[in-house]
Amino acid sequence: MRCPYCSGDNSQVKDSRPTEENAAIRRRRVCPDCGGRFTTFERVQLRELVVVKASGRKVPFEREKLLRSVQIALRKRPVETERIERMVSGIVRQLESMGETEITSRTIGGLVIEALKGLDPVAYVRFASVYRDFREAADFQEILSEIARDGDEPDTATVPGGRAMPAAAKKH
Ligand SMILES: [Zn+2]
């Protein structure tokens, strides 16, 4: 595994242990050339996926890219790395089990939104605002009331006058 700091090819595994409930193996590596330390994860990949962008361009699916965009949405939010990793793995597994090799970025975004909705309301709104390309405050209102509805008991979901912000905030 190439060292991300000096690009040396001699990194050595110092520690290797299962993580994410045995769905992955986490390896701590050290580079003898520069002393840099980094971590890699080994996961099952069921199939090679191709992402079809909105422009029609096709690029290989990369878990790391997906993870990064999720991490941006979750910046400074109180969510453990382990949970984020699990969420991303869950999304990848869903993508892999769709049975299609080509998947639109829109489909991936939709799965991320659904996952974030349960994980962190703030990250959800951040991601949704980008994903849906919302420009108006009214759109945010709509998302916030979606969160509020999801946060309520099913029976009270349609009760009018439920304010979005308190419902979204009460989880923390
Ligand atoms: Zn190095």
Contact 127, 144 (CB under 8 A): no
**Mind listing the pLDDT tens digit for each residue in 48-105?**
899 998 888 999 999 988 998 899 889 899 999 889 999 999 999 899 888 888 999 8
- Measured distance CA(172)–CA(164) in Å, rounded: 14
**Mind listing the pLDDT tens digit for each residue in 8-49?**
999 999 999 998 888 889 999 999 999 999 999 888 777 789
- Measured distance CA(85)–CA(26) in Å, rounded: 11
* 45 Cα–ligand 1 center, Å: 27
* 86 Cα–ligand 1 center, Å: 28
Q: What is the pTM of this model?
A: 0.59
* 89 Cα–ligand 1 center, Å: 28
The predicted pLDDT at position 86 comes to 92
